[in-house]
Amino acid sequence: MVSDRLTHVDETGAARMVDVGGKTVTRRRAVARGAVRMSPEALELVREGSKKGDVLQVARIAGIQGAKRTADLIPLCHPLPLDAVQVDLRIDAPSSSVIIEATASTSGRTGVEMEAMTAVSAAALTVYDMVKAVDRGMVIGQILLLEKEGGRSGHWIRENSP
């Protein structure tokens, strides 16, 4: 079920934090994906490793850390006790990209979509930071929610994801 109104805006148009106190605690999970497109030369350096360390490992840790700090970055997000965060990064040579996928889960009253997308964002920015010396033209993009489950709206899966 999708709402027909913005939940973080009250009747007068003021921003508000959603009251989740009356919601049922359920198991919640969200999966997000994004990509960092770069030159083939830069991608090869990522594959080989760099002087700054293993780019994919550092980005994985940054993604996990980002998910844990989501409420500090997104003003109206509730701080959540995360049960798990998994961040996977893989090199996709045909698109000359690093593909990032994050899964966040909790047992709570509100979803973890923002945590999964923040994990992808933090990991992507970390890849950019570690590779920018050889390719300042990298493009971070297509950060999107692939799936969410739990809560009143149930299970949702993106159809025809790019």
Q: What is the mean pLDDT of residues 30-46?
A: 97
Question: Does residue 91 have a pLDDT over 60?
Answer: yes
26 DSSP assignment: E
Distance CA 46, CA 29 (A): 30
Strands lying side by side in the sheet with 139-149? 84-92, 97-108, 26-37, 139-149, 156-157
Give the model's pLDDT for residue 9: 76
The string of DSSP letters for 91-157 reads EEGGGTEEEEEEEEEEEESS--HHHHHHHHHHHHHHHHHHHTTT-TT-EEEEEEEEEEE-STT--EE
Distance CA 90, CA 110 (A): 30
Distance CA 61, CA 66 (A): 8
Distance CA 56, CA 106 (A): 25
Output the pTM of the full model: 0.87
Question: Does residue 162 have a pLDDT over 70?
Answer: no
Over the stretch 40-68, which tens digit does the pLDDT of each residue have?
Answer: 999 999 998 866 569 999 999 999 999 99
Q: Based on the number of CB atoms within 10 Å of its own CB, is 87 exposed (0-12), middle (13-18) or buried (19 or more)? A: buried
Q: What is the mean pLDDT of residues 16-37?
A: 87
Active site (catalytic) residues: 129
